[in-house]
Amino acid sequence: MSTHKKATRRHTGRAALPRIIPGAPPGSLRPVPGSASAQVAVLTIAQGASHAPRTLHNLSELPVPKRDRSYWVRVTGLGFLEPLQTICNFYSIRDMTLEDILSSGWRSKAEQSGEFLFLGLQVPPDGRPEAKNEHLFLLYKAGLIITFEDIPATLIDTLWQRIVSAPMSSQFQCVGAYLAYATLDLIIDRFFLLLYTKDELLAELEDVIAVRAPTREDLNRLHTIKRNLLTLRRLLAPYRELELTFRQLHIAQTDAEFAPYLDDLRDHITQATELVETYHGIADSLADIYQVSLSNHMNEIIKILTVISAIFIPLGVVAGIYGMNFENMPELGTAYGYFVVLGFMLLVIVSMLWFFRKKKWL
């Protein structure tokens, strides 16, 4: 299996592991296998108005932050080190930060990196059947925001369309901080979209279990939902800590108008976390119900087999006695002995069934 296939398989599995080089010194860099060379696009924001993004064909055209405008530099593709190092050197981004960018399996976090606030983000899929988790790395300071993606993130496409179509408010002192907040808010919205889908699937399974015994297919669907909820919980758990770190590191630059947005983001993270826990609890309950239903079904089968066995025990005794064929058995010479024995056996069956019915064993 090639390196690219291994990376793809790990990416679509339960959890991507951080890509580290055992024994390598801190700051060691290794490109992401299967990713393309860096492509750079720039979105310019001047006094709240946004211009159409433009693609840079030469890294010498990288924009420099200015007082009257802000730039969003989007870097897509982490497959070759040279252009990435050129970009990082131009903007004074540390090698340790670039190492984190090239190791996409780390949990989401926020930390100060020189002049930048660095956010490493694990982004859930957008709800499409073929969609996968996305890895997004965001750095910002006054007048500049830079994002790195191993593959183009639909999240950034959506956000850029929103920024271009709807002019931003000019009330924020740090446009980069607001854009970082908008990115986090859009990520949390994705969690809600996926959770609403899980809510519908769980409700459907609840209705199924209420009217009939669940099948193995139902169990497989339930296990898939539980696995997806565990993945969502793993992705969502660091965001509460990340929001707190983001608030603390940015508080010195935050004006009073920005604080309510952070409060709203915290509320959304809390609600999403509670929903994940609630739905996971419901999935566990449904799994318990399935196990109980399966156990009851097995008990019913065992009960029927036990009743059948109990009925045939006395019949076997009668058949065994008259199957001995001793010469001095008077019943063997009786003209209607065969029919009498059959009638007796039938009477035994009816009597035992009546007894089992009376005891409510059937």
pLDDT for the residue numbered 48: 58
End-to-end Cα distance, the chain: 58
* CA separation for the pair 286, 3 (Å, rounded): 39
Q: What domains, with CATH codes, occur in the chain?
A: 1-6+26-164 (3.30.460.20), 299-358 (1.20.58.340)
Q: What integer best gives the mean pLDDT of the chain?
A: 83
Evaluate if residue 5 carries a pLDDT over 50: no
What does residue 61 show for φ and ψ, rounded to 5 degrees? -90, 10
Contact 159, 186 (CB under 8 A): yes
- pLDDT per position as a tens digit, 103-126: 877 788 888 888 899 999 988 887
Parallel/antiparallel/unpaired status of strands 54-56 and 39-46: antiparallel
Share of the chain above pLDDT 90, in %: 27
Evaluate if residue 135 carries a pLDDT over 90: no
Contact 134, 123 (CB under 8 A): yes
pLDDT for the residue numbered 62: 93
Tell me the two tokens of residue 331: 């019943």
The CA distances from residue 215 to 13, 204, 219, 221, 297, in Å, are 25, 14, 6, 10, 11
pLDDT for the residue numbered 13: 41
Parallel/antiparallel/unpaired status of strands 134-141 and 116-123: antiparallel
Tell me the two tokens of residue 142: 């006054």
Share of the chain above pLDDT 70, in %: 86
- pLDDT per position as a tens digit, 265-315: 999 999 999 999 999 999 998 888 888 877 887 888 888 888 888 888 888
Q: Average pLDDT for residues 306-328, to the nearest whole number? A: 84
Q: Which of 16-25, 55-64, 289-298, 330-339 has the lowest mean pLDDT?
A: 16-25
| Contacts with 147 (C-beta within 8 Å, 6 or more apart), sequence order | 72, 73, 74, 75, 136, 137, 138, 139, 153, 156
Backbone conformation region of residue 10, classed left if phi is above 0, alpha if psi is from -120 to 50, else beta: alpha
The CA distances from residue 297 to 72, 292, 293, 300, in Å, are 61, 8, 6, 5
| Contacts with 318 (C-beta within 8 Å, 6 or more apart), sequence order | 341, 344, 345, 348
- Closest Cα to residue 137, out of 159, 156, 164? 156
Q: Which of 1-5, 26-30, 280-284 has the lowest mean pLDDT?
A: 1-5
Query: DSSP character for 153?
Result: -
pLDDT for the residue numbered 10: 36
Number of helices (H), then strands (E), in the chain: 8, 8
Evaluate if residue 186 carries a pLDDT over 80: yes
CA 30 to chain centre: 28
Evaluate if residue 128 carries a pLDDT over 50: yes
Evaluate if residue 250 carries a pLDDT over 80: no
- Model confidence at 214, pLDDT cuts 50, 70, 90, reads confident
Rounded to 5°, the CA angle 98-103-104 comes to: 115
pLDDT for the residue numbered 6: 38
pLDDT for the residue numbered 132: 78
Q: In DSSP terms, which residues pair with 121 in a beta bridge?
A: 136
